Amino acid sequence: MKIINDLNLKKQAHDLGVKIWQTPGFMFIMLGVIAVVIMTATFFISQNYDSPELVVLAESSVVIIVLAVGNSVISLVEQMLKLNRMKSEFVSIASHQLRTPLSAIRWETELLLSKYRKSVSAKQQKSIKNIDMLSSRMTHLVNDLLDVARIDQDKLIIKKKSMDISLPINEIVAENKQLAKSKHIEIIFDAKKKMPLVFADPEKIRMVIENLFNNAIKYTIDYGKIEIKLSENGNMLICAVKDSGIGIPAEQHKRIFEKFFRSDNVARYQTEGTGLGLYIAKNIIEQMGGKIWFESMENSGSIFSFSIPIFK
Ligand code: ADP
């Protein structure tokens, strides 16, 4: 029964949250194939020798060794995959549970700042605003962790429809106007330029643009410039966010879309950040049929771009 269960690759892949070719069962079958190939090779080589006992002994030893090694590798892989799945499930449950009290805290602080504003002193108001800002940051982090868990479990839901990508860009630019002004950063975006509609998930696309734009502001020193450009390339629309910020050291370019990765220069300059935004953005864009990439030079600036299918 266990053998039949072990060979049910689809069920195994589902239970462990991995692709079929990554399941222990698949690896076991591959080891069997390798054993057969080695045995056949041994047979042909041994034709040059007279003793059949020697051939049988050699073949049996090879098979036993391959199976023993294979079995221990497979149990180890199985254990690791189970642990990995448990970790993703834990992150997902913990993030879900944290969201409710966090929303309640934000709701209560908003109430204090609106309805009970008159009975709260200026000093107390400042503290409440601080609590509100910190709980908003924590909500953001919890949401990011939830998205990472969804991505790792292949459970990210994308609901695509036709949309005008300049709408979320305009909103994000307006929301961040004050912050950019306080850092004397000029924002350039031609909102009037008519672009074709894209086929994407509006909420997720907003998350990606928000991440690229927030990074551009976060990693640009005062008196810089951020430019958002939309262009067409065949059946894809390209969105590029260019900044004149601190850039990324060349030797760390290949790691930039990794989970939790933050470049050395950034860690020194900006303590706030998780290294999750670009990992999530890459997964979202690729699941919508697009690509994400960047060009960057340390101390000169970066251009983060993504492509997304045009709506036909
Ligand atoms: P976070 O910004 O929270 O650290 P992200 O996943 O958004 O996480 O970015 C990962 C890393 O990529 C950043 O920590 C930084 O090192 C680098 N990075 C992203 N965008 C920029 C940018 N516009 N300029 C310089 N570095 C950037």
Residues 196-217 have pLDDT tens digits of 999 999 999 999 999 999 999 9
Residue 257: predicted pLDDT: 97
Residues 134-192 have pLDDT tens digits of 999 899 999 999 999 999 888 999 999 999 999 999 999 999 999 999 999 999 999 88
Question: What pTM value is reported for the model?
Answer: 0.80
Residue 12: predicted pLDDT: 79
pLDDT at 287 over 90: yes
Q: For residue 235, report the distance from its CA to the centre of ligand 1, in Å.
A: 29
Any ligand 1 atom below 6 A from CB of 282: no
Any ligand 1 atom below 6 A from CB of 245: yes
Provide the token pair at 125.
Answer: 């108001």
Give the residue, by CA position, lying nearest to ligand 1 atom 25: 247
Residue 39: predicted pLDDT: 76
Give the residue, by CA position, lying nearest to ligand 1 atom 13: 262
Residue 1: predicted pLDDT: 56
Provide the token pair at 202.
Answer: 């509006």
d(CA 133, CA 64) in angstroms, rounded, equals 63
Any ligand 1 atom below 6 A from CB of 219: yes
Of 248, 257, 300, the residue with max ligand 1 atoms within 8 A of its CB, to mutate for a pocket test, comes to 248
Residue 21: predicted pLDDT: 81
Residues 14-36 have pLDDT tens digits of 777 778 887 878 887 887 888 78
Ligand 1 atom showing the smallest separation from residue 252 Cα: 16
Any ligand 1 atom below 6 A from CB of 262: yes
